């Protein structure tokens, strides 16, 4: 069969680690790094952006790319199953590159937000690399590769401030967007040059209406959750946004149960995939809220006498770097374990480690060495949960639906992160110490911090329930395909 643009000729899947597979891992990790840079790097120049655009809407500048990612994800996920994972990954990277260039030259905040909307497509890079890995490698190798590419980009979180700050100081805030554009273009070229196209394609059409309803509804609900604190939970605009989001999601669900080929087939979501998504939304909320708390507690000096606080110069840098290192270790190990024992086991282990580390932070909020150890363990849990969630969910689906499923996992992880991080923030807000500040931010009582930790630990315990159910009924570990058997000549009767 000839290789055509519509459907590539089947290629043998990679069944062992080789120089070529290491190259693929590096390229796919580079694509995932873009998502972190596109969403996170502009926050390094937030004060300059606010001054340049003469606005105080920091919340919109902060959340715009992530909200756009929620809007893009359903459409890009379904498209990848029909048109090919590599093709959609390249398109996503080029969209993000275009968005960075728009932000670079934007003369007004509205054009800047258009650029951030395009940059938000980078959010899809993560699940597209997962779906692509599942189809260009055998299951055992793919699970290890997924663990590596979903967590390897966290290394950037350790070195990015040290690399970017001198560039920002020398060339100003626009350099962040120039670097993001160059990185996106380089990643697109590398994917085009080195990564093969996925051999499996789905058929049918894309339910564009359903994709827009689902993506728009998620975007509106996440926007309400992310921005309500700054803009007023009961303000007219926020209530309208929440109502519109709920109506869009209801319309999507109504449509999904009636059209022949919905963007996500609710009728096909069996018990294992629903248990997986439940575990992920709870676990993601827990580890993201704990990473948020770590960054807050790290800025509070013990001299304030609040009963907690870790602010201590260079030691704080170690505290903030430890979770990123833990994510790399946890995700890589979880992928390796999943290839031998199945992904349900490392998912449960990651949740268990996260629960232990979270409850240990009750004491760790005032003891720096313990806080560093707990931060590293929470990072390991986050890496293991993310990698195992993608591995488990995609292994439960037919190959022609793995792109859609990986996209659903990304949305669920983002949803849990935003909703429960907001809940933790409200706990701290309700327990503020009047007139007491760490830097420019008000601080909470020790009771509020401890309550926050207990809430996060309880989420981990709740996530362990579906994880245990999945681990007890996990399928056998994936095995490499058997070598093809040659036909045995039959003895002639003549």
What CATH superfamily is the domain 269-476? MFS general substrate transporter like domains (1.20.1250.20)
Pick from 441, 481, 144, 193: nearest CA to 309: 441
Measuring CA to CA, which residue among 437, 345, 449, 417 is closest to residue 387? 345
The pLDDT assigned to 273 comes to 94
Rounded Cα gap, residues 62 and 55, in angstroms: 13
H/E stretch holding 198 reads none
Residue 338 has a pLDDT of 95
* Confidence at residue 492, expressed as pLDDT on a 0 to 100 scale: 43
Angle between helices 402-430 and 368-395 (to 10 degrees): 150
Q: What pLDDT, on the 0 to 100 scale, is given for residue 36?
A: 80
What Rg do the C-alpha atoms of the chain give, in angstroms?
A: 23
CATH number of 18-202: 1.10.10.10, 1.10.760.10, 3.30.420.40, 1.20.1250.20?
1.20.1250.20
Over the stretch 179-202, which tens digit does the pLDDT of each residue have?
Answer: 999 999 999 999 999 999 988 888
- The rounded distance, in Å, linking the Cα atoms of 92 and 86 is 10
The mean-pLDDT minimum among 5-9, 168-172, 418-422, 453-457 falls in 5-9
For residues 486 and 131, the model is more confident at 131
pLDDT of 193: 95
If we measure between CA atoms, which residue out of 44, 42, 36 comes closest to residue 151? 36
Local confidence band at 403 (pLDDT 50, 70, 90 cut-offs)? very high
Q: Report if pTM > 0.85.
A: yes
Confidence class of residue 488 from pLDDT cuts 50, 70 and 90?
Answer: very low
Q: Other C-beta atoms within 10 Å of 489: how many? A: 6
Question: What's the CA gap between 150 and 331, in Å, rounded?
Answer: 7
Q: Enumerate residues 6+ apart whose C-beta is below 8 A from 263.
A: 74, 75, 78, 206, 207, 210, 211, 214, 252, 256, 404
Around Cβ 482, how many Cβ atoms within 10 Å? 6
For the segment 397-422, the average pLDDT, to the nearest whole number, is 91
Give dist(CA 410, CA 124) in Å, integer.
Answer: 8
Cα-based angle 257, 258, 263 (whole degrees, multiple of 5)? 65
**Given a cut of 60, is residue 476 above it in pLDDT?**
no
Is pLDDT at 8 greater than 90 in this prediction?
Answer: no
Q: What is the pLDDT of residue 97?
A: 94
Report the alpha-carbon distance of residue 430 to residue 419 in Å, rounded: 17
Chain-wide mean pLDDT for the chain? Answer: 87
Mean pLDDT of 111-115: 93
- For residue 445, what is the DSSP state? -
Cα–Cα distance, 399 to 201 (Å, whole number):
8
Per-domain residue ranges of the chain: 18-202, 207-262, 269-476
Structure tokens belonging to residue 442: 């008000």
Angle CA(400)–CA(129)–CA(388) in degrees, nearest 5?
85
Task: Tell me the two tokens of residue 211.
Answer: 């994709």
Does the fold of domain 269-476 match that of domain 18-202? yes
Query: Residue 290 corresponds to which tokens in the numbers above?
Result: 């704990």
Rounded CA-CA distance 59/109 in Å is 13
Query: Over the stretch 206-227, which tens digit does the pLDDT of each residue have?
Result: 999 999 999 999 999 988 888 8
């Amino acid at each position: 069969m000839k290789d055509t643009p519509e459907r590539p000729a089947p290629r043998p899947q990679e069944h062992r680690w080789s120089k070529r597979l290491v190259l693929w891992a590096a390229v796919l990790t580079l694509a995932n790094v873009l998502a972190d840079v596109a969403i996170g790097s502009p926050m390094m120049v937030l004060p300059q952006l606010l001054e340049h655009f003469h606005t105080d809407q920091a919340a919109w500048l902060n959340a715009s790319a992530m909200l756009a990612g929620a809007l893009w994800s359903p459409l890009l996920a379904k498209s990848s199953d029909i048109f090919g994972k590599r093709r959609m990954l390249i398109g996503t990277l080029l969209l993000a590159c275009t968005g960075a260039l728009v932000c670079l030259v934007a003369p007004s905040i509205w054009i800047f937000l258009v650029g951030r909307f395009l940059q938000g497509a980078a959010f899809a890079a993560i699940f597209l690399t997962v779906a692509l890995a599942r189809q260009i490698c055998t299951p055992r190798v793919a699970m290890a590769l997924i663990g590596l590419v979903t967590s390897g980009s966290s290394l950037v979180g350790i070195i990015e401030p040290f690399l970017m700050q001198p560039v920002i100081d020398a060339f100003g805030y626009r350099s962040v967007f120039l670097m993001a554009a160059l990185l996106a273009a380089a990643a697109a070229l590398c994917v085009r040059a080195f990564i093969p196209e996925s051999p499996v394609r789905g058929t049918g059409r894309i339910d564009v209406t359903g994709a827009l309803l689902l993506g728009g509804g998620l975007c509106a609900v996440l926007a309400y959750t992310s921005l309500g604190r700054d803009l007023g939970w009961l303000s007219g605009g926020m209530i309208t946004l929440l109502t519109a989001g709920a109506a869009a999601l209801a319309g999507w669900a109504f449509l999904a149960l009636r059209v022949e080929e919905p963007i996500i087939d609710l009728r096909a979501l069996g018990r294992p995939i629903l248990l997986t998504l439940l575990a992920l939304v709870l676990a993601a909320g827990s580890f993201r809220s704990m990473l948020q708390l770590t960054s807050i507690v790290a800025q509070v000096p013990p001299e304030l006498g609040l009963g907690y606080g870790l602010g201590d110069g260079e030691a704080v840098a170690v505290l903030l770097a430890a979770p990123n290192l833990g994510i790399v270790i946890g995700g890589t190990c979880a992928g390796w374990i999943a290839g031998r024992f199945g992904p349900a086991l490392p998912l449960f282990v990651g949740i268990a480690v996260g629960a232990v580390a979270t409850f240990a932070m009750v004491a760790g909020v005032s003891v720096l060495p313990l806080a560093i150890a707990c931060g590293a363990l929470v990072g390991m849990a986050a890496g293991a949960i993310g990698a195992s969630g993608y591995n488990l969910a995609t292994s439960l689906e037919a190959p022609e639906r793995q792109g859609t499923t990986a996209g659903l996992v990304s949305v669920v992880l983002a949803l849990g992160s935003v909703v429960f991080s907001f809940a933790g923030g409200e706990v701290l807000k309700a327990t503020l110490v009047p007139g007491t500040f760490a830097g420019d931010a008000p601080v909470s009582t020790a009771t509020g911090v401890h309550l926050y930790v207990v809430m996060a630990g309880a989420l981990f315990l709740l996530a362990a329930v579906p994880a245990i159910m999945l681990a007890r009924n996990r399928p056998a570990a994936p095995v490499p395909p058997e070598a093809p058997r040659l036909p045995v000549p039959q003895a002639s009767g003549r």
